[in-house]
A = this chain, B = another copy of it.
Amino acid sequence: MEERIKKIRKILQEHSLDGMLVTTTATITYLTHFDFLSPTEREAYIFITEKNQYIISSFLYKEELMHAAPYFDFLDISSAGGKPFWEHVKEITKKKYVDKIGFEADNLTVAEYDILHKQHLTLAPLSISRIRFAKDAEEIALIAKACATSDRAFEKIQPYIRPGITEKEVALQLDTFMRQEGAEPSFKTIVAFGKNAAVPHHTSTTTPLQQKDIVLLDFGAKVDNYCSDMSRTLFVGNPTKKEKHAYETLHTAQEKAYNFLQTQKAPIAASAVDTVAREYLMHHGFPNFPHSLGHSIGIEVHDGFRLSPISQTMLTEGMIFSIEPGIYLSGEFGMRIEDIVVVTKNGPQILTTSSKALLVL
């Protein structure tokens, strides 16, 4: 874990800063191994100096935090006995002679900035999200475990997908399979039948499955704070010629993106991978899909970068991301195939292992 803090100290040095205020919840989890209760409330801050590291949080979390990350000093912000975060920051900067403080401009709120600014602290925006881009061995193992969990759930759900069952019921059953293994769903499970599958971010409804429907499943597991994400498209009854052609073209587009990764030497432009799948689909007469080809995954389902036409990211060893082209024909049907891929020293490797062969239930 010290290695992770060192990454921040290195960036601080490069920017001639001697303190860093970390506010992004996922980065705090990355540094502490601790998962907070609320995704939307500010439950903790981390402050890193040249030699010390502080976790500034509520007394309510102290015991669990100190167990997960004993290498941090704990400072209390609870209303019962603690102090506001900025008072702690001010005291640290005085005690440790911290001069210039980096902060996460895409996460710190204007109100938080203003109160720090009023303390006559020198603040500089500093993006550190890239420390989470390349995963270490421990993280890769956890994401692989999460992928195996969702693979098993996909295997188990298939006998349930029969005419009459609703989207919500399939989603509940998928989630239950993951939770029975001690995992959580990594995001709200998407189950879309028939025309609903043409809406890329469809919310599961009480629509019952009908013979001849296409079934799109997009879901993931969270295991020890790390996420998986996968999409599969199934057919209830034999697909039409048009559907079969679309599925096969989509499958090939996804494989072509992966094969491209195999033939390139890292660093590989993320945008180039997107182009391979996107142009293949458009070349075969399918519409441009309205989302990126993929996204990094880790503590968050969307963990920092994307594989899109405008992505600036270069893919290097340790990076883990989805490859998920889609075909959406409004009012007709939709389909998506998604795998999770890790870039290793010896090339890319797929962590989701469920079959992508056309599956008729």
Q: Is the CB of B110 within 8 A of A290?
A: no
A106 at the interface (CB under 8 A from B): yes
Q: Is the CB of A201 within 8 A of B168?
A: no
Complex Cα–Cα for A199 and B301 (A): 29
Complex Cα–Cα for A63 and B200 (A): 11
Q: Is the CB of A107 within 8 A of B105?
A: no
Q: Is the CB of A182 within 8 A of B168?
A: yes
Please report which residues of chain A, range 20-79, place their CB below 8 angstroms from some CB of chain B when the two chains form the complex: 25-26, 35, 37-41, 59-61, 63-64, 78-79
- Chain B positions within 8 Å of A172 at CB level: 176, 179-180
Q: Is the CB of A291 within 8 A of B80?
A: yes
Q: Mark A135-157, 1 if CB is under 8 A from B, else 0.
A: 00000000000000000000000
Give the interface segment out of A248-256, A262-270, A302-310.
A302-310
Q: Is the CB of B292 within 8 A of A79?
A: yes
Q: Is the CB of A61 within 8 A of B109?
A: no
Q: Is the CB of B78 within 8 A of A290?
A: yes
Given known A-B contacts A110-B108, A172-B180, A291-B80, A40 and B63 have beta carbons under 8 A apart: no
Q: How many copies does the complex hold?
A: 2
A86 at the interface (CB under 8 A from B): no
**Which of A40, A61, A168, A206 gathers the greatest number of chain B CB atoms within 10 Å?**
A40
Complex Cα–Cα for A226 and B308 (A): 35
A203 at the interface (CB under 8 A from B): yes
Q: Mark A75-111, 1 if CB is under 8 A from B, else 0.
A: 0001111000000000000000000000101111111
Contact of A187 among B37, B61, B80 (CB under 8 A): B37
A160 at the interface (CB under 8 A from B): no
- Of all chain B residues, the one with the shortest Cβ separation from A34 is B203
A288 at the interface (CB under 8 A from B): yes
Distance between A131 CB and nearest chain B CB, rounded to angstroms: 18
- Chain B positions within 8 Å of A310 at CB level: 79
Complex Cα–Cα for A126 and B106 (A): 20
A2 at the interface (CB under 8 A from B): no
Contact of A80 among B80, B179, B201, B290 (CB under 8 A): B290
Q: Is the CB of A290 within 8 A of B179?
A: no
Could you write out 20 A-B pairs with CB less than 8 Å apart?
A26-B40, A35-B203, A41-B302, A59-B290, A60-B291, A78-B291, A79-B309, A79-B310, A80-B291, A80-B309, A105-B110, A105-B114, A106-B109, A106-B110, A108-B109, A109-B109, A110-B125, A168-B179, A172-B179, A184-B188
Taking A60-B290, A78-B290, A103-B110 as given, write out 14 further A-B residue pairs in contact, using a Cβ cutoff of 8 Å, ordered by the A residue number.
Answer: A41-B302, A59-B290, A61-B201, A79-B310, A80-B290, A81-B290, A106-B109, A107-B109, A109-B109, A110-B110, A110-B113, A110-B125, A182-B206, A184-B188
Across the A-B interface, the 4 shortest Cβ-Cβ residue pairs: A105-B111, A39-B39, A105-B110, A106-B111
